[in-house]
């Protein structure tokens, strides 16, 4: 997502909040016009709340790998799963329904970082004995990126200070993701070669992932309210973002890592999902 689109989303979020705040009762300018009539003709007022939130994402990536025919210890197994930690930041507004329930709107900047290391087997050509041999090879996959996530949440306060939120969310990629693949030869006599014929043990390749998808999912959170004053509350919380849609389309490639023994079968990568467990602290006022 471009910077201009991100700014537009934030601007719309702020404008929507200001419209709702404009409905405040003129006799009580710091409380909204939300009123609940009671038998004694008194009224309850529930102020709109605003919050800022920060914490860490524990990113969990997985996908299904299916070979046309078996390739034992294929180095492509590194793409099966990955995990890692990254920061997130969010702003939110809370619109009360009553003293126990409300609706929250949230916009978050979600950093993404996840990696995996796998040691497999790949063939190489022995120039001394003029034969193909199997050699151990370490693959390290590192993926970084960011999303803008928007959630519409139902809030329910229960058990005194516990707060439960749940609702749909959408994650939009904030630009391209980056994939870094580091290949390390672990076998004696096995090397990588560049176009000039220079030999080396470690090969690093970095590419942009341009097909990251807009994703839909569920945002579930549980927090504990710690009052700081009559108008400020600290809420440590844990959240889980369960994504229903895939982060990339299904892909089919050729696995030629052990072509002499096992040929060059097709390999399909499907159902790529990225779920997130979040640990954060929110300040509401």
Residue 284's φ and ψ, nearest 5 degrees, are -110, 145
pTM to 2 decimal places: 0.83
Instruction: Check if the beta carbon of residue 123 is closer than 8 Å to that of residue 132.
Output: yes
**Per-residue pLDDT reduced to its tens digit, 135-152:** 999 999 999 999 999 999
> Highest mean pLDDT range out of 20-29, 30-39, 59-68?
59-68
Indicate the DSSP class of residue 76: G
- pLDDT of 44: 67
- pLDDT of 282: 98
Per-residue pLDDT, averaged over 122-134, amounts to 89
Per-residue pLDDT, averaged over 117-140, amounts to 93
Q: What is the rounded average pLDDT for all residues in the chain?
A: 88
- pLDDT of 99: 87
Per-residue pLDDT, averaged over 276-282, amounts to 98
Helix (H, G, I), strand (E, B) or coil at 228: coil
* Integer Rg of the chain from CA: 26
Instruction: Check if the beta carbon of residue 155 is closer than 8 Å to that of residue 95.
Output: no
- Look at the block and give the residue holding tokens 């999902």: 273
Per-residue pLDDT, averaged over 261-278, amounts to 98
**Per-residue pLDDT reduced to its tens digit, 49-92:** 999 999 999 999 999 999 999 999 999 999 999 999 999 999 99
- pLDDT of 215: 98
Question: Which of the two residues, 39 and 238, has the higher pLDDT score?
Answer: 238
Q: Check pLDDT > 60 for residue 40.
A: no
**7-21, 47-61, 170-184: least confidently modelled range:** 7-21
Q: Check pLDDT > 70 for residue 23.
A: no
- pLDDT of 129: 83
DSSP labels, 165-180:
EEEEEEEEESS-EEEE
If pLDDT is split at 50, 70 and 90, which confidence band does 127 have?
A: confident
Q: Check pLDDT > 50 for residue 167.
A: yes
Q: Check pLDDT > 70 for residue 32.
A: no
**CA 83 to CA 117: how far, in whole Å?**
10
**Per-residue pLDDT reduced to its tens digit, 189-207:** 889 988 888 899 999 999 9
- Look at the block and give the residue holding tokens 């199997």: 134
**Per-residue pLDDT reduced to its tens digit, 224-246:** 999 999 899 999 999 999 999 99
């Amino acid at each position: 997502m471009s910077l201009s689109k991100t700014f537009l989303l934030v601007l719309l979020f702020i404008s929507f909040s200001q419209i709702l705040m404009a409905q405040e009762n003129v006799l009580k300018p710091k409380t909204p016009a939300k009123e609940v009539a009671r038998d004694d003709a008194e009224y309850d007022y529930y102020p709109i709340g605003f919050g800022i939130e920060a914490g860490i994402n524990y990113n969990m990536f997985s996908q299904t790998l299916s070979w046309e025919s078996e390739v034992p210890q294929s180095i492509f197994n590194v793409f099966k799963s990955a995990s890692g930690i990254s920061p997130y930041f969010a702003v939110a507004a809370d619109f009360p329904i009553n003293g126990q329930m409300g609706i929250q709107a949230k916009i978050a900047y979600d950093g993404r970082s996840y990696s995996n290391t796998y040691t497999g087997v790949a063939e190489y050509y022995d120039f001394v004995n003029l034969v193909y041999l199997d050699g151990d090879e370490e693959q390290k996959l590192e993926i970084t990126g960011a999303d803008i996530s928007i959630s519409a949440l139902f809030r329910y306060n229960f058990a005194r200070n516990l707060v439960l939120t749940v609702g749909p969310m959408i994650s939009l990629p904030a630009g391209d993701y980056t994939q870094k693949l580091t290949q390390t030869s672990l076998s004696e006599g096995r090397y990588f070669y560049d176009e000039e014929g220079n030999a080396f043990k470690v090969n690093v390749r970095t590419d942009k992932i341009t097909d990251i998808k807009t994703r839909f999912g569920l945002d579930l959170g549980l927090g504990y309210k710690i009052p700081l004053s009559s108008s400020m509350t600290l809420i440590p919380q844990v959240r889980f973002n369960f994504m229903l849609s895939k982060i990339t389309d299904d892909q089919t490639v050729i696995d030629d890592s052990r072509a002499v023994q096992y040929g060059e079968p097709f390999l399909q990568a499907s159902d790529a999902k990225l779920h997130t467990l979040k640990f954060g602290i929110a300040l509401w006022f």
